[in-house]
Structure 1
């Protein structure tokens, strides 16, 4: 491992110097405010785009667009190594020690994972779209379009910019990716209204949105690195990183890094079973129109809960810093504070959704809005349950117990998918919400038991560094 150290430049103050003595909960709330600023612009644009798109295309064609996106997103999640977590967990110490070469080595390794994951995802997506599109419920006439949509997977499986912005505490820029994608979709949809575009044009707009979002996000991360004099030599040694990967030098110099990267990938893949895979199951069993309605209900539910769920985005860096300092009492106290704060906010949002959800869905999809209301409320209940248990999975991953997090999600997935299929078969679209809510509750109970067992075993409170 490189031992020479390069001082971080004076263009910007070192973020860890600013953070070392400040309160973790205060930083989380401050960063949450920055994220909400971006989401404040994103939410109305997303709702407007969805409303325009379903009226332009109709329920069936909009459902096809949603199914293609869910397929590409699911494949990307399958191959995505969640490299932002690798940057955060293995990059925060060398950055704190001003060991720039080692920090850059971690960033290059993360980029390498993104590239390999994107290429693998594109290949897997192309094979599935070619030989198994019927199993996904795709109409036969969109197979070629589905193959073309796999281009978007190359840009979806990129998480290194997220890790860079998190470790450097630039949460004000993290929402850029989502806002960019939504803005491109909205502008494209408005153009299609004027030009009388159809299904294939809308699919092209969604592909372009992913490409633009990835490019803007990568540019923002590069600018932040450059402002702190962290780009010099970053890419010039990329060939060395390829040798690091294929000869496993990186594994010897950073013990456990491969296991951590693979574990977070598996955990993320299992987590997506509650979102994009759900869309695929609905589409294959009920058809494109119901897949579209499910997507809208899920989008509204997650959008309403977003102010509370965004807390998790700011939580990982704080937990990583406390774990680095072995301040485990403060770590558990922070987790409890966040659960109470975010859970209370989630309950308030659920009440608001119950009062306003019908009006919102009518505005978005017209007379069929009430049909999606029940699904939306059940999905929001699932979101609120997730919010109450929000700190549990970050605790397991931060404390290098990603295997336990994977075990919990694996057990839960074995329960969720059969339950989802059975409930859809019995109750149609209305069965999706209860299946999701009860499966989410089971997951949170499992994660709580694992964290409680880990806390008792390690004697964290008695051995705290705080």
Structure 2
């Protein structure tokens, strides 16, 4: 796997690194743009058919399954990308194959456990979230939606293969299934339970599609190796610690966004959860690129660190962060002026009154978007524990503020909480990255 060329000059090299990140991001955003348009259509169908209360129930059922999946399931794509690239660089296709099989076994095994945990706990959690007995029964089956989160290993394979076009295509799978299903529910006069069935089908399709899309890339990278074969823990230095820390980092970072709607639903009921969910969806233009930018930049930054191009690496991260803020600012400004109209336009009159919540969520998303290159840079330096520590502080240690803000300011409290989390995290990540990158550069000079 030969490294991509870049301009050797100091400034030109930084531009080359940024261009490669943007090229990867463009491929991912192509699929996300189509997915966004599709999502808007099915979102209008669902919110206008269900209203704020039933839509809130739908959101809570889905958020519950996703939360269990993010906590119990295992995401190891960072390990696949880093140690898989090392194996391929050394020409060790058999080692690469064992690594991927090992990560697949761990991920699928944890996914099965997550499904069982979600099914068992649904009858316990459901009554506190305002679910009817029938909804609780469906939520038990909906535990299968955890399958949608079990896809990190094939995602890592596609990243190593440079198939960001397929990763972009994958972004449209779940929205397309939801659009087809939501249209059917709308035409047939269905309601909440029909939409729950559609959301379940989309989650299963999302998980299965990633594995199918990665199969050709696997065959190319692991040429001569079978899908089924020997697997064991790779012997690379620090492998287990690396994958455990990066998985914990991802889990902690996904915990707060998934826990927030459940906390709102628990304390304020499904209508407030529905209002928060629509505000989050309306700001998805800022939220989704956060994950995509992290994925697009990670492989580029890892390569620059491996080449010991630390100066180039620092400029690539700083310019990616600045560009993220530059892109986010006008979007937040537009939502500040047109937020109320947008909420009512999408969901109908029952969603009126969420303007401040929308603005706060958008400003928090902007901070998250700018944080993505910094977190990817720290991981590329082999210091994922830094990002994990920041995620732990902002998502867990700051969580007790959420109930307090909800009690004092209502649903807007979720927005204030997200704003504090996002900007505190961005500032701390920037400080840690600046220090660690400087230390790395200094060690190379000695």
TM-score, length-normalised on structure 1?
A: 0.88
Q: 2:30 aligns with which of 31, 37, 52?
A: 37
Query: Matched residues in 2 for 1:130 and 1:349: separation?
Result: 41
- The structure-2 alpha-carbon separation of the partners of 1:352 and 1:164, relative to structure 1 and needing over 3 Å to count, comes to same
Q: 2:320 aligns with which of 334, 338, 355?
A: 338
* Residue 236 of structure 1: aligned partner: 228
SS of corresponding position for 1:463 = helix
Query: Matched residues in 2 for 1:120 and 1:309: separation?
Result: 25
- The structure-2 alpha-carbon separation of the partners of 1:168 and 1:148, relative to structure 1 and needing over 3 Å to count, comes to same
* Residue 453 of structure 1: aligned partner: 435
Q: How far is the alpha carbon of 1:339 from its aligned partner?
A: 0.9
Is residue 272–residue 411 contact of structure 2 (8 Å, CA) maintained in 1? yes
* Residue 276 of structure 1: aligned partner: 258
CA displacement 1:241-270 (0-9 Å, x = unmatched): 1xx2xxxxx15x123222122112211121
Q: How far is the alpha carbon of 1:303 from its aligned partner?
A: 2.3
Is residue 286–residue 366 contact of structure 2 (8 Å, CA) maintained in 1? no
* Residue 410 of structure 2: aligned partner: 428
TM-score, length-normalised on structure 2?
A: 0.92
Q: 2:334 aligns with which of 343, 346, 352?
A: 352
Q: How far is the alpha carbon of 1:369 from its aligned partner?
A: 4.2
Q: How far is the alpha carbon of 1:231 from its aligned partner?
A: 5.4
* Residue 322 of structure 1: aligned partner: 304
- Please list, as runs of the form range in 1=range in 2, the aligned pairs for 1:404-415 lying within 5 A after superposition: 404-415=386-397
Query: Matched residues in 2 for 1:355 and 1:464: separation?
Result: 51
SS of corresponding position for 2:345 = helix
* Residue correspondences, number: 438
Query: Matched residues in 2 for 1:188 and 1:312: separation?
Result: 31
* Residue 463 of structure 1: aligned partner: 444
CA displacement 1:126-146 (0-9 Å, x = unmatched): 222133333444344422111
* Residue 57 of structure 1: aligned partner: 50
Is residue 64–residue 262 contact of structure 2 (8 Å, CA) maintained in 1? yes
* Residue 167 of structure 2: aligned partner: 174
Query: Matched residues in 1 for 2:111 and 2:182: separation?
Result: 27
- The structure-2 alpha-carbon separation of the partners of 1:255 and 1:130, relative to structure 1 and needing over 3 Å to count, comes to farther
Q: How far is the alpha carbon of 1:92 from its aligned partner?
A: 1.0
Is residue 128–residue 266 contact of structure 2 (8 Å, CA) maintained in 1? yes
Query: Matched residues in 2 for 1:138 and 1:325: separation?
Result: 54
* Residue 17 of structure 1: aligned partner: 2
- The structure-2 alpha-carbon separation of the partners of 1:414 and 1:39, relative to structure 1 and needing over 3 Å to count, comes to closer
Q: How far is the alpha carbon of 1:453 from its aligned partner?
A: 3.4
What do you get for the CA RMSD once the two structures are aligned? Answer: 2.1
Query: Matched residues in 1 for 2:142 and 2:224: separation?
Result: 35
Q: 1:159 aligns with which of 152, 166, 184?
A: 152
Query: Matched residues in 1 for 2:145 and 2:310: separation?
Result: 41
CA displacement 1:321-346 (0-9 Å, x = unmatched): 11222222221111111011111111
Are 1:262 and 2:244 counterparts? yes
Query: Matched residues in 2 for 1:105 and 1:134: separation?
Result: 45
Gaps of 5+ in 1: 1-15, 245-249
- Please list, as runs of the form range in 1=range in 2, the aligned pairs for 1:43-442 lying within 5 A after superposition: 43-226=36-219, 228=220, 230=222, 232-237=224-229, 240-241=230-231, 244=232, 250=233, 253-304=235-286, 306-307=288-289, 310-442=292-424
Is residue 74–residue 111 contact of structure 2 (8 Å, CA) maintained in 1? no
Is residue 175–residue 202 contact of structure 2 (8 Å, CA) maintained in 1? yes
- The structure-2 alpha-carbon separation of the partners of 1:85 and 1:419, relative to structure 1 and needing over 3 Å to count, comes to same
| Greater CA drift, 256-265 or 279-288 | 256-265
